[in-house]
Amino acid sequence: MFDFCVADHTLPFGPAGYSCKNPLMVNVNDFSSSGTLNAPNTDNIYKAGLSTAFVNTIPGLNGLGISLARVDVQPGGVVPLHTHPDATEVITMLQGNLTVGFISSNNTVYVKSIGTGDVFVIPRGLLHFQVNSGINLSVELSAFSSSNPNTQIVDEALFKSNLATKIITATTFINPIEVLRLKLLFKGSG
């Protein structure tokens, strides 16, 4: 309908994305970024980090259904079990090695060790993970089929939130002592 619809974050937004910036105010910088994919901080419990080129940093992505992220994982680090509720992810390994996998809804595991230059597809919405069991930092570039992919990390949903322990144990069958240990680890309440 339009050549493009650069996000104007000051206007209302709706199910299809952000309102468009006045086309006369659009310039090439709305479609590009420097540094958004710099090495992310990996000094955390996962020994992994993410830097993103999503619609919040590149407003020209609005409405176009695609975006990028760089994911670095230190040796021994992981991208914990998570989903992207509305996006397929396609990984390209730029450096190092990873074990990457997803699980289908009939509980089949699709897992593989990949190295530099390899590509791996994670169909939209499915649980997946990455593990760096090597001795070098791994660097991957991930493309997403959404301009603003959300990420739901199972551990954080359960243990970094205020979800009641009673509900967690009932709906995951994890024993309450383990739940409390994980709540301490992830700083959850409830």
State which of positions 148-167 bind a second copy (CB under 8 A). 148, 150-152, 154-158, 160-163, 167
**Residue 38 touching a second copy (CB under 8 A):** yes
Interacting residue with a second copy among 9, 31, 41, 184 (CB under 8 A): 31
Give, in order, the Cα–Cα distances in Å from 148 to each of 3, 96, 175: 19, 27, 35
**Residue 36 touching a second copy (CB under 8 A):** yes
Report whether 82 belongs to an annotated binding site. Answer: yes
Total residues at the site for a second copy (CB under 8 A)?
109
CB 149 within 8 A of CB 54: yes
Interacting residue with a second copy among 125, 134, 137, 180 (CB under 8 A): 125
CB 71 within 8 A of CB 128: no
Interacting residue with a second copy among 50, 56, 137, 141 (CB under 8 A): 141
Q: Using alpha carbons only, what angle is made at residue 134 by residues 133 and 140, rounded to the nearest 5 degrees?
A: 90
CB of 96 to a second copy, least distance (A): 15
- DSSP per-residue letters across 44-97: STTSEEEEEESTTT-GGGTTS--EEEEEEE-TT-EEEEEE-TT--EEEEEEES-
**Residue 185 touching a second copy (CB under 8 A):** yes
Q: Which parts of 82-121 interact with a second copy (CB under 8 A)?
A: 83, 85-86, 88, 90, 92, 94, 99, 101-112, 114-115, 117-121
**Residue 140 touching a second copy (CB under 8 A):** no
Kindly tell me which of 20 and 137 has the beta carbon lying closer to a second copy.
20
**Residue 33 touching a second copy (CB under 8 A):** yes
Kindly tell me which of 113 and 136 has the beta carbon lying closer to a second copy.
113
CB of 24 to a second copy, least distance (A): 10
CB 100 within 8 A of CB 120: yes
Q: Which one-letter DSSP state was computed for residue 134?
A: S
Q: Residues 6 or more apart from 133 whose CB is under 8 A from it?
A: 75, 76, 97, 99
- Rounded to whole angstroms, the Cα distance separating 35 from 28 reads 16
Q: Which residues are annotated as a binding site for Mn(2+)?
A: 82, 84, 89, 128
